Homo-oligomer: A and B are copies of this chain.
Amino acid sequence: MRVTLRDVADDVGVSVATVSRVLTGKSSGRVRPEVAADIRQAAARMGYRSNALARGLRLQETRILGFISDVIATGARGGQILLGAQDAARRYGYTLLTVNTGDDPDVEAHHLDALASYRVDGYLYASMFNRPLALPSRLETLPTVIVDATSPTQSTPSVSPDEKAIGRLGARELLRAGARRILYVSTPAPIVARAARLDGFFAEIRGTTADVEVRVLEIAESISHARGPLVEALKSDVDGVFCFNDLRAAMVYQASTAAERVIGHDLAVISVDRTEMLQQVLYPNLSSIALPHYQMGYWGCTKLITSLLGNSLDLDDPSLTDLPACALSHALLAPGEPVDGASCILTK
């Protein structure tokens, strides 16, 4: 039913070998140009589409990559990683077999079986947030790149956001906006980003000559618990707030009303995540440092493919070397001005 090499060969009156040579671009100097043209034309006319299974079987190379994520493709951020990876894959003629484990080892095992069955050439292992992430042992010996996480043993290449740079950047923006008594709204969760952003933040503060006071407040993700402490903290003479993420920034917005502090006037606020929905909803617009999810996906996939092909990354390609931790922003702090970039951490 589907048209095959054989069909095209019969139509033109040549052998399948010749058709194959022409259609895989191995014909220059090896097939008469007129014949090649005929073949290409017939293939197009007949709607020939090479069978990737047969090709994969023969070549022991499928050009399929397994994209494994915990619960990532579910959230908006994870979607961006997937998109970036997909764009990179497309560019090199690869396709992604996506799979979600829901952080369930049984589900993961099932999916790893499936991916192995389809003989994917390599794996992208994506995490829903930056953390040390041990690869399932079955993947340890296979071509794999970790995205938005790091290998605890450094044995696998990975891309993750430069959390310290994010902290630095946030501090810089608040200082630039004139803030001197800063509230740093953090998370109680012991994740990589908590410590690293705080480090970067203080590193930047120490580097300034201004007299700055910082208070760190950790709040949970539930507004009902966070509200009280936040209102309390905002009632003091705070003039700048660094928010660990947009969720907390949204809480700060709510609390600021109760504390009768006007954001953009009494208070400068900077946050991290650039959540689209909150961008549309918060007033005045939230200044937020974007995490480079798309870029990490793109970089991770390119890294994987080039290593599969035995090449190294093309460092002249700006999409590979220019990995900002943030791009444009509604700049509440200095309206109209975009917030600067900070880079990713690439291993190997």
Contact = CB atoms under 8 A, between A and B. Distances in A.
A254 interface: yes
Contacts of A222: 280
Contacts of A283: 223-224, 227, 254
Interface string A116-148: 111100000000000000000000000000000
B227 A254 contact: no
Given A57-B54, A110-B90, A277 B247 contact: yes
A295 interface: no
Contacts of A80: 74
A14 B281 CA distance: 68
B49 A281 contact: no
Interface stretch (A95-103, A163-171, A203-211): A95-103
A75 B280 CA distance: 15
A189 interface: no
B74 A74 contact: no
Nearest to A97: B97
Interface of A is mostly: helix
B51 A57 contact: yes
Q: State the oligomeric state as a number of copies.
A: 2
Interface residues of A, number: 59
Nearest to A2: B119
Nearest to A280: B221
A107 interface: yes
Interface string A218-241: 000111100100000000000000
Contacts of A254: 281-283
Interface string A284-305: 0100000000000000000000
6 contacts: A53-B62, A64-B97, A90-B107, A95-B115, A227-B283, A257-B257
Interface of A: 2, 49-54, 56-57, 62, 64, 67, 73-76, 78-80, 82-83, 86, 90, 95-100, 102, 107, 110-111, 113-119, 221-224, 227, 246-247, 250-251, 254, 257, 275, 277-278, 280-283, 285
